[in-house]
Amino acid sequence: MNTSFERATVGEIVAADFRTARVFEEFGIDFCCGGRQSIAEACENAAIDQQTVECALRALPPVAEQADHDVTRWSPDRLIEHILTNHHAYIRATLPSIGRQLAKLVEVHGRSHPELTCIAASFDLVSRDLLQHMMKEERVLFPYIRELALTNRREFAHSPFGTVANPIRMMEREHRDAGDALRLIRELTNGYVPPADGCATYRVCLAQLAEFERDLHRHVHLENNVLFPKAVELERA
């Protein structure tokens, strides 16, 4: 990857090349809710050497420029459809499975691993909050953004909340809450590493939790750093 990082935010870097998400995750750098940080700010907050991170980013092999893979060039409608199909659907399909596995782990291993009770409670809270969060996006915010994209510039899309910035602020706050809850789960599981006495269900459950967090990072990134700024710009125009 051959680019300058001086002026780009972490979110802009990931939007331009999604492979960089893995690099930031390896260093524990928040590129979704913390996407508006510069590289320097992100490295300072994560207590990571900035030069090491930049070297890892530049080590990524160059790729041919393809507009189809550049999400910053996607229309709001395409972004929303991608989020619904790939992320909202994934969350709804995955929540029950992880919830059942955690309940089983608490029952079988809860006495020897009391942290499982806290993990299960945190995930249950995340589950309920995310389902309500997605419903608000699907019924209110996303339809309004689609209307903004289709409305003639000499007309105004009907807004039930004054300005699109108001629900966006609420969605971003809820994104941070979900991220904080999953960060706690990651800490309680030592980075999703199963204990020595962990059974097959234990290993599968932690692997699914790790994948769930990775998917949420990409999901939130697409909304916070790509879709929402487009919506604000459309309304301003």
Residues 29-88 have pLDDT tens digits of 888 777 888 989 989 988 889 999 989 888 887 765 554 568 888 999 999 999 999 999
Q: What is the pLDDT of residue 65?
A: 52
- Classify residue 4: in a domain, yes or no: no
**Residues 125 and 132 sit within 8 Å (Cβ to Cβ):** no
Give the range of the structural domain holding residue 209, as residue numbers without chain letter.
74-236
Last residue of a domain, one of 69, 86, 104: 69
Distance of CA 113 to CAs 91, 107, 148, 222, Å? 26, 10, 50, 36
- Classify residue 178: in a domain, yes or no: yes
Task: Look at 45-49, 84-88, 121-125, 170-174 and tell me which has the smallest mean pLDDT.
Answer: 45-49
- Classify residue 84: in a domain, yes or no: yes
Domain count, the chain: 2
Residue 1 has pLDDT above 60, yes or no: no
Q: φ and ψ at 114, to 5 degrees? A: -60, -20
**Residues 14 and 31 sit within 8 Å (Cβ to Cβ):** yes
Last residue of a domain, one of 23, 43, 69: 69
Q: What is the pLDDT of residue 136?
A: 96
Same-domain pairing of 98 and 207: yes
Same-domain pairing of 87 and 198: yes
Confidence of residue 28 (pLDDT cuts 50, 70, 90): confident
Q: What is the pLDDT of residue 128?
A: 97
Residue 157 has pLDDT above 80, yes or no: no
d(CA 89, CA 112): 35
Indicate the pTM of the whole model: 0.78
- Classify residue 144: in a domain, yes or no: yes
Same-domain pairing of 121 and 34: no
Confidence of residue 236 (pLDDT cuts 50, 70, 90): confident
Q: What is the pLDDT of residue 155?
A: 59
Phi/psi region, residue 184 (left: phi>0; alpha: psi -120 to 50; beta: rest), is alpha
Residue 16 has pLDDT above 80, yes or no: no
Same-domain pairing of 125 and 203: yes
Same-domain pairing of 17 and 119: no
Distance of CA 189 to CAs 29, 38, 88, 115, 145, Å? 19, 29, 25, 8, 38
Q: pLDDT digit string (tens) for 76-108?
A: 999 999 999 999 999 999 999 999 999 999 999
- Classify residue 138: in a domain, yes or no: yes
What percentage of the chain exceeds 70 in pLDDT? 92
Confidence of residue 230 (pLDDT cuts 50, 70, 90): very high
Same-domain pairing of 200 and 232: yes
Q: pLDDT digit string (tens) for 207-219?
A: 999 999 999 999 9
Q: What is the pLDDT of residue 3?
A: 58
- Classify residue 1: in a domain, yes or no: no
Q: What is the pLDDT of residue 158?
A: 63
Same-domain pairing of 109 and 202: yes
Same-domain pairing of 37 and 139: no
Same-domain pairing of 47 and 23: yes
Residue 131 has pLDDT above 80, yes or no: yes
Average pLDDT over every residue of 114-124? 97
Confidence of residue 25 (pLDDT cuts 50, 70, 90): confident
Confidence of residue 8 (pLDDT cuts 50, 70, 90): confident
- Classify residue 150: in a domain, yes or no: yes
